[in-house]
Each structure stands twice: as structure tokens, then as C-alpha cells.
Amino acid sequence: MIVLRGIRRSFQVGDQVVHALRDVELTLTDGDYAAVMGPSGSGKSTLLNILGLLDRPDAGSYTLDGTETTTLPEERRARLRRERIGFVFQAFHLIARLTAAENVELPLMLAGQPIRERRRRVAAALETMGLTPRANHRPDQLSGGQRQRVAIARATVTEPRLILADEPTGNLDRASGEDVIAALEALNAQGLTLVVVTHDQALGARARRRIRMDDGAIVT
């Protein structure tokens, strides 16, 4: 359960203040599937970063499963990211020198899991994404769609309850984009909360909820 109350976030750009989020109120229940839509610069990524504990709001309250997160020390927020949240980015953010399997293994390594357990979970996550034959390929040996599915495997390998995807199909052709969305929706079908930022009206239409943003505020 996610509850945002009166969230504000502004950035100082030169001598101007940009209000990226203005008094955002939002409640997401477990298993929700929300599409965040709106014009470029409307604050979608800022909202997602705050949901993912990568950024702190200037004002307001964000409770995640009953825990007030805005006042938590960075150490605790890192732990919540590690255990509860999975990210999928438009630019994939895979580490180029590591293989698909090693990229997927990263969050488990950061969590200090034993090697054997890591191997098992990585293999399962790659299998779910249909990437088993690609396990030992490096990102530059994979297509865009495959890379994003590696990223999804990495986001889900720790079995988080919340998946945040910022324009996950933005760099993909339509067919690969469909695959990626299907993979995310399958996770949602298993009960994970899914928040997807997208420009694509058709993709947005598939979500259970649509959150429209304009100039830092939620309009519907």
C-alpha cells in the first residue's frame, strides 16, 4: 500500500525554480496497475523517482506499507529499495562489461545472498523472461527487447512488491515493446504492484488505472 500526501518537489535551474511536483496526492493498493501519462516535463519521472526512494520530496508524506519513508535515513531507504522495489529504465542501465546473468545477479549480490541461492534465482528469473539461452551474453550482444527483459529479470529477481518502469518501451520497436509490456503485465497478474510511465496511448489504455499529469500535478 502506497500513500502520497501533499508531495512537492522543485528544482533550482539557474535562477529559476521549476516545480516538478505540486501537492501530489496518490494512493496505490497492492496489485495495482497504473499508467502514468502526460506531456514531457510534466513530472512523471520525478514522481517515479520519489516512489522508488531515489529522491526525497521537499514536502509531504510518503508511506510505504505503513512506514513513513521521507524521514528515513539513507541506509534504511537503500534497504527498502533493495527488498521492496524493482526498477526498469528507458535506457536499460545494464552494465556493459557484465553478462546478462551477472547483471541480473547484481541486486542479490548487494543483498549479500549466498552464491548458490543467487545462481538458482538468476536462472529462474532469466527463464521466466525467456532468456536462458542468452544468460552468458553481454548487453552489446543482445537486442533492445532482450536487454529490457534482462532489466526486468534484474528488477524482479529479489521478488519485490513494487515494479516501477519509466518509459520501458521508449527505446524499443513496437513488437519488442509489446513483449516487454506483456512481461510486466504477467508480473502484475501475480500480484505485484506495477507503475508504468508511458507516452503510448494504447499501452496506457491497457492499465487498470491511468494517472494523467500536467505541469507537476495529477489531473485525473
Partner 1 sequence: MLAPTMRPIDTVASAMRALTAHAARTWLTLAAMAFATAAVVVLSALGEGARHYVLDEFTQLGTHLLIIMPGRNETTGGAPPLLGETPRDLTLEDALALRRSRYVAQVAPIAVGAAEVSAGSLSREVTILGSTAAYIDIRRLAMTAGRFLPPGDPERGAPVAVIGQTLAEALFGSASPIGRRIRIGDRRFRVIGLLAAGGVSLGSNLADVAIIPVASAQALFDNPGLFRVLVQAGGRESLDAAAAAVRAIIRERHEGEDDVTVITQDALLGTFDRILGALTLAVAGIAAISLTVAGVLIMNVMLVSVSQRTAEVGLLKALGARQRDVLALFLAEALLLAAAGTALGLALAYVGIWLFNVRFPAFQLVVPIWAPLAAALVSVGAGLVFGLLPARRAARLDPMRALVGR
Ligand X SMILES: Nc1ncnc2c1ncn2[C@@H]1O[C@H](COP(=O)(O)OP(=O)(O)O)[C@@H](O)[C@H]1O
Binding test (CB under 8 A) with partner 1, winner from 7, 32, 38, 49: 49
Question: Of partner 1, ligand X, Mg ion, none, which one does residue 111 interact with (CB within 5 to 8 Å by kind)?
Answer: partner 1
Should residue 20 be labelled a site residue for ligand X when binding is judged by CB under 6 A? yes
Q: How far is the CB of 79 from Mg ion (least distance, A)?
A: 26
C-alpha cell at 102: 551477472
The Cα–Cα gap between 158 and 138 comes to: 21
Q: Beta strands 193-197 and 33-37: pairing type?
A: parallel
CB burial class (10 A; 0-12, 13-18, 19+) of residue 47? buried
Q: Which is nearer to Mg ion, 45 or 193 (CB)?
A: 45
Q: Which is nearer to partner 1, 204 or 213 (CB)?
A: 213
Should residue 44 be labelled a site residue for ligand X when binding is judged by CB under 6 A? yes
Question: Of ligand X, Mg ion, partner 1, none, which one does residue 40 interact with (CB within 5 to 8 Å by kind)?
Answer: ligand X
Find, among 47, 48, 54, the residue nearest to 22 by Cα. Answer: 47
Using the 8-state DSSP alphabet, how is residue 88 labeled? E
Should residue 11 be labelled a site residue for ligand X when binding is judged by CB under 6 A? yes
Q: How far is the CB of 84 from ligand X (least distance, A)?
A: 22
Contact (Cβ atoms closer than 8 angstroms) between residue 193 and residue 207 = no
Q: How far is the CB of 66 from ligand X (least distance, A)?
A: 27
Three-state secondary structure of 53-78: CCCCCCEEEEEECCEECCCCCHHHHH
Q: How many residues bind Mg ion (CB under 5 A)?
A: 1
Binding test (CB under 8 A) with partner 1, winner from 34, 87, 125, 152: 87
Q: How far is the CB of 57 from ligand X (least distance, A)?
A: 13
The Cα–Cα gap between 199 and 69 comes to: 29
Interaction site with Mg ion (CB under 5 A): 45
Interaction site with ligand X (CB under 6 A): 11, 13, 18, 20, 38, 40-46
